[in-house]
Amino acid sequence: MRWRFPYILLLLILVALSSVQAHQGQTLTIAAAANLKTAMDVLGPAFEARHPGTRLQVSLGASGSLVAQIQQGAPFDVFLAADADFPARLVAAGLVSGPSFPYATGRLVLWVRRDLGLAPDKDGLRVLLDPAVKRVSMGNPALAPFGRSAETALKAAGLYEAVKAKLVFGENIAQAAQYLQTGAAEAGFISSPQVLAPVLVGGLAWTVPQDLYPVQKQCGVLLKRSAQPALAAAFRAYLLSSEAQATLARLGFGAP
């Protein structure tokens, strides 16, 4: 019976190799909220390194726009939203495999040009009333969860009507940040990871107090029509791992 152990060992090696080969040459398509750009630039290559031969194809956009694409048949494997509501819509429509899963908490930030001489850390949202602030950028509340949170915060602070004429809307939080980068707006609402962008580091960033808007729990789902269900599940497991969570925390996300 001496042959039994080498045979079992060989069998285990073959099973392991077949598991690795199963993922080689596969592409995993991920629809991700725009505030995940920096995170996916780090997490994507790390996941690919764990699964040699696998390629991540990431489409960034407003959560609402991505949901519309999924409902119209877009061939995504995984959807990572900036809130819990948009994934819930896909669950209700029967388009997902399994329940939604929280992977992070989003943090709303007010960014103001430094050369304006304003002090958001002292005056908070009231700096938006200053005449020097002519335009305030934010994501479209109907499509972008961070835009909805910004609108909620302004209303909770009693400032929405006074600031409404200054608001300029981007389709998503990334476009809202672009308005700040190009000087099209003097102030704007973005997410905490975007503050780390080199072109925005020179401004003043103030984290909007959590009591002004509901906790923005960011959730994801695995899509039922996925062509790579096993690989999608592997990505979910990685996203919830201590390694990926540490990366998200370093980039300014809160714990799920």
Q: What is the pLDDT of residues 94-137, one digit of tens each?
A: 999 999 999 999 999 999 999 999 999 999 999 999 999 999 99
Considering the entire predicted model, what is its pTM? Answer: 0.86
* pLDDT of residue 40 exceeding 50: yes
Question: Which of the four pLDDT bands, split at 50, 70 and 90, describes residue 14?
Answer: very low
Q: What is the pLDDT of residues 63-88, one digit of tens each?
A: 999 999 999 999 999 999 999 999 99
pLDDT at 13: 45
Bridge partners (DSSP) listed for residue 58: 30
Considering only CA atoms, give the Rg of the chain.
21
Task: Provide the residue type at 52 as one letter.
Answer: P
Contact assessment for residue 104 and residue 219, using Cβ atoms and an 8 Å cutoff: no
Average pLDDT, the chain: 91
Provide the percentage of residues in the chain whose pLDDT is more than 90.
87
Region 159-173: what's the mean pLDDT? 97
Q: What is the CATH number of domain 107-212?
A: 3.40.190.10
Residue 1 has pLDDT above 70, yes or no: no
Q: Quick check: do 4-105+215-250 and 107-212 share a fold?
A: yes
pLDDT bin (cut points 50, 70, 90) of residue 4 is low
pLDDT value of residue 25: 66
* pLDDT > 50? residue 151: yes
Domain edges within the chain: 4-105+215-250, 107-212
pLDDT level of residue 212 (50, 70, 90 thresholds): very high
Instruction: Give the pLDDT confidence score for residue 12 in this predicted structure.
Output: 44
Cβ burial, residue 203 (10 Å; 0-12/13-18/19+)? buried
Spelled out in words, what is the top-level CATH class assigned to the domain 4-105+215-250?
A: alpha beta
The residues, ordered by sequence, that sit 6+ positions from 85 with a Cβ below 8 Å of its Cβ are: 145
The answer to whether 60 and 33 are in contact (CB under 8 A) is yes
**160-177: average pLDDT:** 96
Q: Is 6 a residue whose pLDDT tops 80?
A: no
Query: With 60 as the cut, is the pLDDT of residue 8 above it?
Result: no
Which pair of structure tokens corresponds to residue 65?
Answer: 């726009």
